[in-house]
Structure 1
Amino acid sequence: MNSSAQILAIGGGGFTHATDPVLETYLLSISPVNNPSIGFLPTASGDSETRIKRFYSRFSAETCRPDHLALFGSVSEVERWVKTQDIIYVGGGNTKSMLGVWREWGLPELLREACHRGTILSGVSAGAVCWFDIALSDSGGRGLEPLPMLQLLRGSCCPHYTNEPNRQQAFESQIQSGKLPAGFGIDDGVALHFSNGNLEKVIKTREQAAAYSVCAGATAPVVKQLS
């Protein structure tokens, strides 16, 4: 990963839920491009029309050029679309299905190449965890299970962290047992900005919301709030 590689991982909320506009403002602010192109991948929600409309409603008010790529209709020029984006934003939903559809269209490799070129990668929930090595997903219908991701960021990640106690408990338990590597828990309304694979900044938009580092301890998980 080159020194310009940037990823913004959002725990929950944002424009798809009509909340936390500060997160999108921050995302645009880290682009070195004036009037950047920003592309939305709504795959995890099955290309939800509601979320696509919210994307355009939110970003049409900013100095940027919004576009989206739907993979459940007539699709063409996927590679060209990825290459023309300065920022890519991945929406939330079913992580396992999203990754499966992406593989059919060759998106994992295209997104890795985009990252190496300096395209800013971002997303919420499924769109946050997909950049890490591995994450917990309940998309398979068998509870929360480890699922390999795109491996652009080291370790594991859990969205909606303290907002969904069962998810938090499973994440900490599986890190302690060694089923997951150490990683990050991110609350709704919080984003982690990574630059060149390293955590650069924590962005919080809600009182009491936070992000955490989680690793295995001698007898229990070690959880530390990030500032």
Structure 2
Amino acid sequence: MKGTVVALGGGGFSMSESDGSSLIDDHILDLTGTTKPRVCFVPTASGDADGYSQRFESAFAGRAETSVLSLFCHDPWGYTDPSMLLEQDVVYVGGGSTVNLLAVWRLHGLDDLLGEAAANGTVLAGISAGMNCWFDASSTDSYGPLAPLRDGLGFVTGSACPHYLGESGRREKYLRWVASGELPGGYAVDDYAAVVFRDGEVVEAISEKTEHPVYRVMRVGDDAVEEPVAVRLLASTTSSSPETKLGVTSL
């Protein structure tokens, strides 16, 4: 897969505690190289929850040209031809049900359109289900209890586990599924952290808060092994503090 993917384990505007500001979201905009990028929010996984889309528009107002792709035809956005994704600088995918997202996307042809958009320079980003969708496989609660899913878009090789330390059971079950072979090895990303991929390879891991790690998880024999990934702590433009590194291994 050609192009850039930013996979958020958690964080971004949807987990902001106040005004929707997010250093990870700032970094996503910076990746476009434009002063006022075109950013489309795709809230399919939440069933196009209106409040979610409104929070996106509020968070990005004034610094991006925003749009919402509502495949459920919610007002005031209505239905738009999904080919509009090819005109975006960023496609930002919200959280919710990974299974439902993938099913609806395939019916509307988004699987092919998103690959084409990425190859043409569009940054693909997403949180939670919006992280899971880019990988071959993932840990998901789409069926209620956490379960392994081997049905992603495959833009990134391996499996994904968002909210790694932020939600009970995520870490233990993901390690168990990788150890048993139910899921291939992959990346486990905590809340407020993200991994940036380019052309299928890791560029870096980033975080907007301290003590939120990223791991590469591999199957070794009958066990799953966590390899910490060096995480760059993003610095606010209003602060003179230098960016620091978290973790013990390099990329």
- 1:18-97 pair list within 5 angstroms: 18-19=16-17, 21-62=22-63, 64-73=64-73, 74-79=78-83, 81-97=84-100
**2:208 equivalent in structure 1:** 205
User: What percentage of aligned pairs have identical amino acids?
Assistant: 35
User: Which residue identity lines up with residue 67 of structure 2 in the other structure?
Assistant: D
Q: Does the aligned pair in 2 maintain the 1:175–1:181 contact within 8 Å?
A: yes
- 1:148-163 pair list within 5 angstroms: 148-163=151-166
Tell me the CA shift for residue 161 of structure 1.
0.3
Q: Under a length normalisation based on structure 2, what TM-score does the superposition of the two structures give? A: 0.84
Q: Does the aligned pair in 1 maintain the 2:159–2:184 contact within 8 Å?
A: yes
Q: Does the aligned pair in 2 maintain the 1:144–1:167 contact within 8 Å?
A: no
Secondary structure of the 1:135 match is strand
Deviations 1:45-74 (A, max 9, x none): 111111111111111142x21111111114
Tell me the CA shift for residue 143 of structure 1.
3.8
Q: Does the aligned pair in 2 maintain the 1:18–1:54 contact within 8 Å?
A: no
**2:234 equivalent in structure 1:** none
Q: Does the aligned pair in 1 maintain the 2:148–2:183 contact within 8 Å?
A: no
User: Which residue identity lines up with residue 79 of structure 2 in the other structure?
Assistant: V
**Which of 174, 198, 205 is equivalent to 1:171?**
174
Structure with greater proportional helix content: 1
**Which of 115, 120, 136 is equivalent to 1:117?**
120
Segments ≥4 residues shifted beyond 3 Å:
none
**Which of 94, 100, 105 is equivalent to 1:102?**
105
RMSD: 1.5
Secondary structure of the 1:214 match is strand
How far apart are the structure 2 equivalents of 1:53 and 1:87? 17
Instruction: Classify 1:219/1:106 alpha carbon distance in 2 versus 1 (closer, same or farther; 3 Å).
Output: closer
How many aligned residue pairs are there? 223
| 43-52 or 30-39, larger mean C-alpha shift | 30-39
Greater relative contact order (Cα < 8 A, sep 6+): 1
Deviations 1:159-189 (A, max 9, x none): 0001124121111111111111110000000
**2:183 equivalent in structure 1:** 180
Tell me the CA shift for residue 84 of structure 1.
1.2
How far apart are the structure 2 equivalents of 1:219 and 1:197? 27
Secondary structure of the 2:223 match is coil
Secondary structure of the 2:175 match is helix
**Which of 194, 210, 221 is equivalent to 2:224?**
221
Structure 1 regions of 5+ residues with no counterpart?
A: none
Tell me the CA shift for residue 218 of structure 1.
3.0
| 102-111 or 14-23, larger mean C-alpha shift | 14-23
